[in-house]
Structure 1
């Protein structure tokens, strides 16, 4: 009787402490509609990485937007990025994304870091990438607008938890740190993006 009582009293605590259900991340298998869906303007929201060079960049990244547009052939996308790294706005328009159709992966290469990623199935206005560099996991979330629903953010945080990331390893950007886009008038204290 006593053991049954202890079990029943402890059950609510066990249910509360139960870790979130880990549903597998499902990669997108590339087809003719995949790349057109990726084109256009994106706002980087959050990410985490166990890969040293990416982790160092995430710690400095305060805000980022990027545009994807067709490259010189169907296996390539050009990328223009505008980001605030600590207090400096930087524009990068020299990086490219290689599209590997045979294994549905993307490889982003710029002057400093090369990153391989799978596109994860999600809402059409979200861009979730599962990064893998030298077997170090990473996950990033970008969106068409800076406003991502609480439910979508919680779902993303659950994926991060399931990949072994703690809250201290997740870095969010802030819209208040946005750099002015080219041609926008800058206010006091704003810094024009500097080409890299």
Structure 2
């Protein structure tokens, strides 16, 4: 049940499975947009049109995206990790594609079908991804990621504005509480090969936790 729920939350078509070790990635892309997307993005919040998916978001304690260079400058590999219950589940079945006009699409690795779009925001330190969840009709979902957990009020307001356009209110946005440490967050050192060294990135002491405000379901737990 948890695996199916997480797959729906992340807008994936396949069940979440452990990610197999991968060889050293190609050199960093020269495309400016692609270069800004590389690295680790922490999961902050989600919102969805389908009540079932909204409830599934409540199962997530924390998560992150690791974006790495792909085969070409226009493609970036995505490894998604989420902590659900006592498990850390990972998946690498999607990738970013930098299309014409720097439009960034999320595509399925096997079918190459578009499953989401990266929305334009005022800051380069946050990502807002709009997913298309296919059921009997198309349901939309929003997922907010940031470089660190101290997201500003302005970033949360932008999330709320995009959610409003989907017919969702503040009470339907679920913020991740980040109470456990099941999914280690690793950041590649600048200028160092990812095959030789990496450092662990964790929220600094005293950092605002996304789950503490804006989420009536998780606040106070």
Relative to the length of structure 1, the TM-score reads: 0.63
Single out whichever of 101-110 and 121-130 deviates more from structure 2.
Answer: 101-110
Match of 1:116 in 2: 116
Is 1:161 the equivalent of 2:202? no
Structure with more relative contact order (C-alpha pairs < 8 Å, separation 6 or more)? 1
CA contact (8 A) 2:121 2:158 kept: no
Which of 81, 85, 95 is 1:97 aligned to?
95
Going from structure 1 to structure 2, the CA distance change for 1:117 and 1:87 (only over 3 Å counts) comes to same
Going from structure 1 to structure 2, the CA distance change for 1:65 and 1:98 (only over 3 Å counts) comes to closer
Q: Which has the higher helix share?
A: 1
Show the 5 A alignment for 1:42-81.
42-50=41-49, 55=54, 57-81=56-80
Match of 1:18 in 2: none
Q: How many residues align?
A: 152
**1-side partners of 2:61 and 2:185: how far apart?**
18
Going from structure 1 to structure 2, the CA distance change for 1:57 and 1:69 (only over 3 Å counts) comes to farther
**2-side partners of 1:57 and 1:100: how far apart?**
29
Show the 5 A alignment for 1:143-182.
143-181=146-184
**1-side partners of 2:55 and 2:73: how far apart?**
32
**1-side partners of 2:171 and 2:163: how far apart?**
11
Three-state SS of the structure 2 residue aligned to 1:177 is coil
What residue ranges of structure 2 are gaps of 5+ in the alignment? Answer: 1-29, 187-199, 201-221
Going from structure 1 to structure 2, the CA distance change for 1:91 and 1:129 (only over 3 Å counts) comes to closer
Three-state SS of the structure 2 residue aligned to 1:91 is strand
Q: Which has the larger radius of gyration?
A: 1
Show the 5 A alignment for 1:3-18.
none
CA contact (8 A) 1:47 1:141 kept: yes
What residue ranges of structure 1 are gaps of 5+ in the alignment? Answer: 1-30, 185-196
CA contact (8 A) 1:82 1:181 kept: no
CA contact (8 A) 2:38 2:69 kept: yes
Match of 1:7 in 2: none
Is 1:142 the equivalent of 2:166? no
Relative to the length of structure 2, the TM-score reads: 0.57
CA RMSD in angstroms comes to 3.2
